[in-house]
């Protein structure tokens, strides 16, 4: 018996109202041998019997699975979230937890945030047609982890609430139709520049003049000086942007920054998100729990302890 083939990338797809047509268009154009795994998170009524697996089977030869708790992901397969469940991912496996109570739960955000932590730069988030804003927080986590974010264009979505909320975050790498997304995914996975740009160990060799020119563009537009940022962080973020544009030279990218305000904004946002890595550092929080918090309460006796949380 052949061992399971682990996926090269894990693609989380969030969809709600109007999402079926978008999913059919997407999988009709998606090659069956991409090496990726596709995890679909939909808004499903607790009493709704989904026929999604039967409907998608008309458009793809990939195997389709209704997720079982602890199920291992395989390449070239599609996974569907069951009704009444919240899904997360860890160590290449999908885990389910039953939804309880009537309070608002955002299953796409929950899965995408989990995916960002589990797959890092191998995570891909896609937002398709739907109402509300579920997924908009999750794509930010994927973007911050170095993954790829695609969103369905507003004009092609039957319901544009979810795509619009995602686009408004400014964290989308591509906004396009579902039928065009597979081409982007394949190129992203296979293009060496893109893949190399996401690697933490990458170091770009350039002179101070090129650094200064990029920082000058950012300073003029945003009144913010990035020249004091950690060099390795700046290098990774700029390398990521070069990869998306298939560029080899910084001089080409500097010209693009001068000509394209949208790209300048994308670089600006990419540089800003590095600070949030602290909040995903489990070792830091473990140290706070073990050393800092107990010491605060120990030293507070008998005068008490005041805690201020900034809004």
Active-site residue list: 16, 43, 134
What CA–CA distance (Å, rounded) separates 168 from 203? 31
Residue 164's contacts (CB-CB under 8 Å, 6 or more residues apart) are: 154
Q: How many CB atoms lie within 10 A of CB 271?
A: 22
Phi and psi based region of residue 212 (left: phi greater than 0; alpha: psi -120 to 50; beta: remaining)? alpha
Q: Could you give the dihedral angle defined by the CA atoms of residues 148, 128, 43 and 116, in that order, rounded to the nearest 10 degrees?
A: 0
CA of residue 191 relative to chain centroid, distance: 19
Residue listed under structure tokens 């006796």: 301
What CA–CA distance (Å, rounded) separates 42 from 286? 34
Helices H / strands E in the chain, number of each: 13, 10
Pairing of strands 148-152, 123-127: parallel
What CA–CA distance (Å, rounded) separates 226 from 257? 15
- The length of the chain is 311
* R_g of the chain computed on alpha carbons: 21
Q: Please report how the helices 250-259 and 208-222 are oriented relative to each other, as an axis angle in degrees rounded to 10.
A: 20
């Amino acid at each position: 018996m052949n061992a399971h083939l682990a996926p090269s990338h894990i693609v989380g797809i969030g969809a709600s109202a109007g999402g079926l047509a978008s999913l059919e268009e997407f999988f009709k154009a998606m090659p069956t041998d991409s090496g990726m795994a596709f995890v679909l998170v939909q808004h499903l009524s607790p009493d709704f019997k989904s026929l999604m697996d039967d409907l998608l089977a008309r458009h793809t030869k990939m195997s389709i699975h209704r997720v079982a708790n602890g199920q291992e992901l395989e390449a070239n397969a599609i996974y569907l979230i069951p009704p009444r469940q919240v899904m997360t991912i860890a160590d290449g496996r999908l885990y389910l937890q039953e939804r309880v109570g009537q309070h608002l739960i955002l299953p796409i955000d929950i899965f995408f945030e989990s995916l960002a932590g589990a797959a890092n730069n191998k995570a891909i988030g896609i937002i398709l047609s739907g109402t509300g804003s579920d997924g908009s927080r999750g794509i930010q986590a994927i973007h911050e982890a170095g993954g790829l974010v695609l969103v369905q264009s507003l004009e092609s979505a039957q319901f544009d609430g979810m795509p619009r909320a995602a686009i408004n975050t400014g964290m989308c790498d591509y906004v396009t139709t579902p039928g065009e997304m597979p081409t982007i995914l394949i190129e992203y996975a296979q293009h060496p520049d893109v893949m190399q740009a996401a690697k933490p160990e990458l170091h770009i060799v350039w002179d101070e003049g090129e650094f200064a020119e990029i920082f000058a563009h950012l300073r003029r537009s945003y009144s913010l000086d990035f020249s004091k940022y950690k060099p390795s962080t700046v290098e990774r973020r700029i390398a990521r942007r070069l990869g998306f544009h298939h560029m080899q030279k910084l001089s080409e990218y500097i010209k693009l920054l001068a000509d394209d305000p949208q790209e300048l904004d994308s670089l600006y946002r990419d540089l800003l998100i590095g600070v949030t890595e602290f909040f995903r550092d489990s070792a830091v929080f473990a140290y706070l729990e073990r050393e800092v918090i107990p010491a605060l309460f120990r030293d507070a006796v008998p005068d008490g302890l005041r805690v201020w949380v900034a809004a």
